[in-house]
């Protein structure tokens, strides 16, 4: 489902990350760095809210808006019942929509917010995503100190949060287009290889988007996938090359940019709803603002599995949502 | 949907499994724990003058203690990533599973956190251990009259 927007602009942004992530990203754009996953709190879940608090606080402070000018907030995280988002936003007292698309949440939130602004139902919307390594391990995998021998194809959930305010107030960066992707389930059930599971979903949704819009890859200065990481990104590139699409320097993966890939402890790369959001804020928006990029496509990828479904021998359904950000003269 | 195409591509991009390296490391690390246990037993029998059966029990307790403390310090998981089965097969693996689950459950309190979660990973081992013991006990009774 392709969406086009004419009146949606990126107003401000903020992000908070852990020290491990901060070492790798451009620190000029990071608003707060926490020492560890706990975020100076007593549990990972509370820590995730602390990260969100810093990211959203920064985005609002950098904007020209008052709190009462925010019409709505839209948030996403990996926790059951979106607990990080709900327990965080309760202090803000603004209308809230919680959404879940796992690691594809960033692009989904952009599309949702842009639709509401384009339809003139809202003027200013705060959107945020977060993830926490400790909380995600507790919910999806094993306790953090458990002596599990992780596979090399496994990804490491990034601990961080990113917040963006979209508005109808003209600015340098506008949201031009987006697509809501289809769920693709190709009967893959290896939960130690999320990247490989998501690669076909990104490939299929991306090809369908190109076919419907008749765009070429040259129409974009950068095509960034969310968190396919090593295995997934190589698979995605191979699938594109089989379709005679030249995978050149404009293709990148956010999951390969958030950690130092030379160190063994991150395995295949980074993942999480905050992954694509944080790389967008720290690396890609900067290039758009400086005019290095004029038009970028973010293909946020998500693995929509449930641990109970996996134990019941189900496979991993995956999705990819997309958003096009453009530099526009304000 | 081109299932075969996806399967081929993703399969080709899987990291190569290092079977031999993992086997050798597991063998050496598991054997090292066995050596450590034997050393402790000999020390307990000769230095502390304990009987063999009591010394064996103390050795198991020592291994469990070392596993629990190293889990709490965050060292165990790093070692386990390297050693694999060499660490989770012996009693150290069982101790680590209980300790890590308890540490994780701390934030939810004693009843719903630690108490409920402590056996979340080891539960299967205990359940099927007890079921197997009962089953084989019954078989032994029926076949050999309990002898």
With beta carbons less than 8 A apart as the criterion, state whether A302 and A131 touch.
no
- The Cβ-side half-sphere exposure at A319, using a 13 Å CA radius, reads 20
Percent of chain B at pLDDT exceeding 70: 98
Residue B147's pLDDT band (boundaries 50, 70, 90)? low
Q: What is the pLDDT of residues A196-226, one digit of tens each?
A: 999 999 999 999 999 999 999 999 999 999 9
A242 to chain B: which residues are within 8 Å by CB?
5, 9
How far is A147 from chain B, CA to nearest CA, in Å?
4
Cα gap B38→B29, rounded to integer Å: 14
**Chain A contact present for B3, CB below 8 A:** yes
Closest CB to A143: pick one of B9, B13, B100.
B100
**3-class DSSP state of A201:** helix
Q: Do B121 and A146 touch (CB under 8 A)?
A: yes
Q: Tell me the C-alpha to C-alpha distance, in Å, between residue A252 and each of A1, A284, B75.
A: 24, 11, 34
pLDDT value at residue B18: 87
First to last CA, chain A: 28
How far is A231 from chain B, CA to nearest CA, in Å?
6
With vertex at residue A78, the alpha carbon angle to CA A77 and CA A81, rounded to the nearest 5 degrees, is 85
Cα gap A2→A163, rounded to integer Å: 24
Nearest Cα to Cα of residue A227 among A285, A265, A280: A280
Cα gap B22→B16, rounded to integer Å: 12
Find residues 24-83 of chain B whose CB sits inside 8 Å of chain A: 71-72, 74, 76-77, 79-81, 83
A200-212: burial string, b at 16+ Cβ within 10 Å, e else: bbbbbbbeebbee
Cα gap B84→B89, rounded to integer Å: 9
Q: How confident is the prediction for chain B on average, in pLDDT?
A: 93
How far is B24 from chain A, CA to nearest CA, in Å?
15
**Chain A contact present for B99, CB below 8 A:** yes
With beta carbons less than 8 A apart as the criterion, state whether A83 and A59 touch.
no
Q: Do B15 and A144 touch (CB under 8 A)?
A: no
State the ipTM, two decimals. Answer: 0.86
Cα gap A97→A115, rounded to integer Å: 13
Nearest Cα to Cα of residue A4 among A298, A327, A330, A322: A322
**Chain B contact present for A149, CB below 8 A:** yes
C-beta contacts of B17-26 below 8 A and 24+ residues apart: B22/A149, B22/B84, B22/B85, B25/B82, B25/B83, B25/B84, B25/B86, B26/B83, B26/B84, B26/B85, B26/B86
**Chain B contact present for A182, CB below 8 A:** no
For residue A225, the cross-strand partners are A253, A299
| Nearest chain A alpha carbon to B8 | A235
Q: Tell me the C-alpha to C-alpha distance, in Å, between residue B126 and each of B63, B95, B102, B111, B122.
A: 19, 13, 16, 20, 6
Q: What is the pLDDT of residues B8-64, one digit of tens each?
A: 999 999 988 888 999 999 999 999 999 999 999 999 999 999 999 999 999 999 999
pLDDT tens for the 330 residues of chain A, in order = 999 999 999 999 999 999 999 988 878 899 999 999 999 999 999 999 999 999 999 999 999 899 999 999 999 999 999 999 999 999 999 999 999 999 999 999 999 999 999 999 999 999 999 999 999 999 999 998 999 888 889 999 999 999 999 999 999 999 999 999 999 999 999 999 999 999 999 999 999 999 999 999 999 999 999 999 999 999 999 999 999 999 999 999 999 998 888 876 788 899 999 999 999 999 999 999 999 999 999 999 999 999 999 999 999 999 999 999 999 875
Cα gap B7→B40, rounded to integer Å: 51
| Nearest chain B alpha carbon to A187 | B3
Token representation of residue B25:
């490391």
Say how many C-beta atoms besides its own lie within 10 A of residue A47's C-beta. 25
Four-residue CA torsion sign, A291, A292, A295, A297? negative
Closest CB to A196: pick one of B13, B80, B93.
B13
**Chain B contact present for A89, CB below 8 A:** no
Q: What is the pLDDT of residues A285-298, one digit of tens each?
A: 999 999 999 999 99
With beta carbons less than 8 A apart as the criterion, state whether A278 and A158 touch.
yes
User: Computed over its alpha carbons, how large is the radius of gyration of chain A?
Assistant: 18
Tokens 């909380």 belong to A135
Name the pairing type of β-strands A160-167 and A295-303.
unpaired
């Amino acid at each position: 489902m392709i969406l086009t927007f004419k009146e949606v602009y990126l107003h401000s942004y903020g992000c908070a990350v852990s020290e491990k992530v901060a070492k790798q990203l451009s620190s000029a754009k990071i608003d707060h760095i926490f020492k560890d996953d706990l975020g100076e709190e007593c549990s990972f879940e509370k820590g995730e809210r602390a990260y969100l608090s810093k990211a959203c606080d920064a985005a609002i402070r950098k904007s020209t808006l008052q709190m009462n000018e925010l019409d709505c907030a839209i948030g996403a995280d990996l926790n059951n019942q979106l607990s990080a988002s709900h327990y965080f936003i309760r202090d803000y007292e603004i209308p809230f929509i919680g959404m879940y698309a796992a690691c594809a949440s960033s692009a989904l939130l952009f599309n949702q917010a842009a639709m509401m602004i384009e339809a003139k139902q809202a003027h200013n919307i705060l959107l945020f995503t977060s993830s926490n390594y400790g909380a995600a391990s507790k919910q999806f995998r094993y306790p953090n100190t458990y002596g599990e021998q992780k596979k090399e194809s496994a990804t490491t959930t990034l601990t961080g949060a990113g917040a963006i305010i979209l508005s109808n107030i003209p600015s340098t960066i506008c949201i031009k287009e987006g697509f809501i992707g289809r769920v693709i389930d190709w009967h893959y059930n290896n939960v130690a290889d999320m990247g490989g599971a998501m690669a076909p979903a990104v490939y299929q949704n991306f090809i369908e988007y190109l076919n419907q819009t008749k765009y070429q890859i040259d129409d974009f200065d950068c095509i960034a996938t969310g968190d396919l990481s090593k295995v997934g990104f190589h698979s995605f590139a191979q699938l594109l090359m089989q379709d005679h699409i030249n995978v050149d320097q404009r293709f990148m993966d956010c999951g390969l940019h958030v950690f130092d890939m030379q160190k063994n402890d991150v395995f295949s790369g980074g993942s999480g709803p905050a992954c694509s959001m944080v790389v967008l804020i720290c690396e890609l928006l900067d290039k758009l603002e400086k005019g290095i990029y004029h038009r970028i496509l973010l293909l946020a990828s998500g693995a929509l599995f449930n641990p109970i479904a996996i134990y019941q021998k189900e496979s991993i359904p995956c999705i990819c949502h997309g958003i096009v950000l453009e530099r526009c003269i304000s | 949907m081109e299932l075969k195409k996806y399967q081929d591509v993703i399969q080709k991009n899987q990291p190569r499994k290092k079977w031999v390296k993992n086997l050798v490391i597991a063998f050496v690390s598991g054997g090292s724990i066995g050596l450590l246990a034997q050393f402790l037993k000999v020390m307990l029998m000769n230095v502390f003058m304990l009987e063999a059966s009591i010394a064996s029990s103390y050795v198991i307790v020592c291994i469990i203690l070392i596993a629990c403390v190293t889990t709490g310090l965050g060292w165990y998981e790093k070692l386990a990533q390297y050693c694999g089965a060499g660490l989770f097969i012996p009693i150290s693996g069982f101790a680590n599973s209980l300790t890590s689950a308890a540490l994780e459950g701390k934030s939810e309190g004693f009843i719903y956190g630690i108490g409920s979660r402590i056996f979340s990973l080891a539960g299967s081992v205990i359940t099927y251990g007890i079921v197997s013991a009962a089953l084989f006990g019954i078989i032994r009774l029926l076949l050999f009259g309990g002898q």
